[in-house]
Amino acid sequence: MYIKDIFFSYQGEGPWVGYPQIFLRLYGCNIHCAYCDEPDFAHQRETVTPEQVMARLSPLLEKKPHSISVTGGEPLLQVDALKELIPLFPIPAYLETNGTLPRHLESVVDLFTYFSVDYKPGFDREFMEFMSILANRPNVYVKWVLTPDFPIMDLKKLVKTVEAVAKNLPFVIQPVTPFGTIKRGASVAEIDRAFQFAKQCLPDVRVIPQTHKYMGVK
Ligand code: SF4
């Protein structure tokens, strides 16, 4: 399997913010977000076996992590490897995914306990299929990265899509952390507008930035 990093840190996003975790960062993504802080650089790619992953991950269990975050990139690009690896985990697996690969999710969904699912504008059909697979499962939330000047029409579409398939889940608006071509974060007015729009249709809307960036940890 292709990975970039294995490390211990604290979850910086979403409803489980602050939980200690082991992070397994897989290499490669199927989409290209302007704000991505984990772009694909071939020199960062390591090829390892699931057994080698476990050998590196096991000493970090002494730090008493809550779970193992399988993140990326997009982890669901490597489902065959995940099927071998995740049953070896001694603690729960937490999936961080861009929510665009529903067919891939189907084959590994039972291996995970926690699900952090992005809503990516432009992938509404994929998102709806993805969320239908997660229907009635506990420990699922939806995250949307708010960029500056996000079009109001797209905001309306977003809320309708999320309402259709994930109405009662926590919906986290994550104001973008400036990176790459994104030179500024969303303003307070933009955050308020997005919150008010979402709150009209969704019962559990929260605004949570990437807190690990403030802490200065990975
Ligand atoms: S989905 Fe995540 S890893 Fe992929 S390009 Fe977007 S931010 Fe980066």
C-beta 38 within 6 A of ligand 1: yes
Residue type at 212 in one-letter notation: H
C-beta 26 within 6 A of ligand 1: no
CA 72 – ligand 1 centroid, Å: 7
Give the residues across from 143 on adjacent strands: 118, 172
How many structural domains compose the chain?
1
Please name which of 112, 127, 116, 114 lies closest in space to residue 157, comparing C-alpha atoms.
Answer: 127
pLDDT by residue (tens digit) across 173-188? 999 988 888 889 999 9
Nearest alpha carbon, ligand 1 atom 8: 36
3-class SS of residue 11: coil
Nearest alpha carbon, ligand 1 atom 2: 73
CA 100 – ligand 1 centroid, Å: 11
Residue type at 145 in one-letter notation: V
Alpha helices per DSSP H over the chain: 50-57, 79-85, 102-108, 124-134, 152-166, 188-201, 211-215
Find the domain containing 95 and state its range. 2-215
CA 34 – ligand 1 centroid, Å: 9
Q: Ligand 1 test: best mutation among 44, 71, 98, most atoms within 8 Å of CB?
A: 98
- Give residue 39's pLDDT: 81
Nearest alpha carbon, ligand 1 atom 6: 33
CB 109 within 8 A of CB 136: no
CB 100 within 8 A of CB 120: yes
DSSP state of 89: -
Q: Which residues contact 33 (CB under 8 A, 6 or more apart)?
A: 120, 145
Positive or negative, the CA dihedral 50, 210, 32, 129 is: positive
- Give residue 218's pLDDT: 87
pLDDT at 43 over 90: no
Nearest alpha carbon, ligand 1 atom 7: 36
Tell me the average pLDDT across 129-153: 94
CATH number at residue 100: 3.20.20.70
C-beta 207 within 6 A of ligand 1: no
C-beta 33 within 6 A of ligand 1: yes
CA 74 – ligand 1 centroid, Å: 7
pTM value is 0.96
pLDDT at 37 over 90: no
CB 23 within 8 A of CB 9: yes
Tokens of 52: 């080698």
- Give residue 38's pLDDT: 82
- Give residue 175's pLDDT: 95
Closest ligand 1 atom number to CA of residue 32: 5
Cα–Cα dist 117/126, whole Å = 12
Q: What is the mean pLDDT of the chain?
A: 95
